Amino acid sequence: MSTVPMKPRLRIATTSLAGCFGCHMSFLDIDEHFFELAELVEFDRSPLTDIKHCGPCDIGLIEGGVCNAENVHVLREFRAHCKTLVAVGACAINGGLPAQRNHLDLDACLREVYASREGMQTPGVPNDPELPLLLDKVHPIHEIVRVDYFIPGCPPSGEAIWKFLSDLIAGRTPRLYRELLRFD
């Protein structure tokens, strides 16, 4: 008796760059759909796993913009390994809240926080080689790599993320109807 080969599960990776993890929290808000998702996909690198590097994946979900050299490295790794790359939330799409520092002088910001604030035990801007180099500006991810889809919102709702993912996993072009679109 011949058996029908099982369709391989899609692999999904997620990461947070310069973001607050609020978009990941919204992802967790898909609630009971996680059981369906677990039947359809396997997770690669993600805060949900302990995998340190992104391997070959079908879908990469990126939360957060790009504020330092490590963000650039991680984003390029995702782009190289993910067939479809998705910018999730305002920070990934336009820099979001972290990009508010773009109007300020970075050096002055660092001095204000680390060098001249009362109560700091060892005043001075941290300068450890382990720390990723800050970029002058916070960038949306599409300024660094090609992005296939954008899910707006701060954060997008769990319902929007589920609708998007279920379309993509089923091989449909993802469509978010008006009620699911958020721009705040």
| Interface contacts to ligand SF4, rule CB under 6 A | 19-20, 22-23, 63-64, 89-91, 96-97, 154-155
Question: DSSP per residue over 45-112, as a string?
Answer: SSTTS---S--SEEEEEEESBEEEHHHHHHHHHHHHHEEEEEEESHHHHH-TGGGGGGGS-HHHHHII
- In a 3-state reduction of DSSP, which class is residue 27? helix
Measured distance CA(183)–CA(52) in Å, rounded: 32
Q: Name the minimum Å distance from CB 153 to ligand SF4.
A: 7
Peptide bond preceding 155 in cis form (omega within 30 of 0): yes
Q: Which is nearer to ligand SF4, 97 or 110 (CB)?
A: 97
Q: Name the minimum Å distance from CB 19 to ligand SF4.
A: 3
Q: Which is nearer to ligand SF4, 66 or 120 (CB)?
A: 66
Q: Name the minimum Å distance from CB 6 to ligand SF4.
A: 35
Q: Which is nearer to ligand SF4, 21 or 114 (CB)?
A: 21
Q: Which position's Cβ is nearest ligand SF4?
A: 22
Q: Name the minimum Å distance from CB 128 to ligand SF4.
A: 25
